[in-house]
Amino acid sequence: MLEETVAVLADRDLVTQLAAAEADLATGRVETLGDLEAAMRSRRTSV
């Protein structure tokens, strides 16, 4: 587990993405279960 943590912290792009995700959560910019289900239904019917 420590090796994985070090690998994540060493990846600047990943740390940036994690910070952006935390900011989205803090401001309420999230996808609901209903949003995700609708997106998956849409993908299934468009193929």
Judge if pTM exceeds 0.95. no
pLDDT at 46: 74
Whether 14 contacts 8, CB under 8 Å = yes
Domain ranges, residue 41: 2-45
Report the number of distinct structural domains present in the chain.
1
Whether 30 contacts 24, CB under 8 Å = yes
pLDDT digits (tens, 9 = 90+) for 1-47: 999 999 999 999 999 999 999 999 999 999 999 999 999 999 988 76
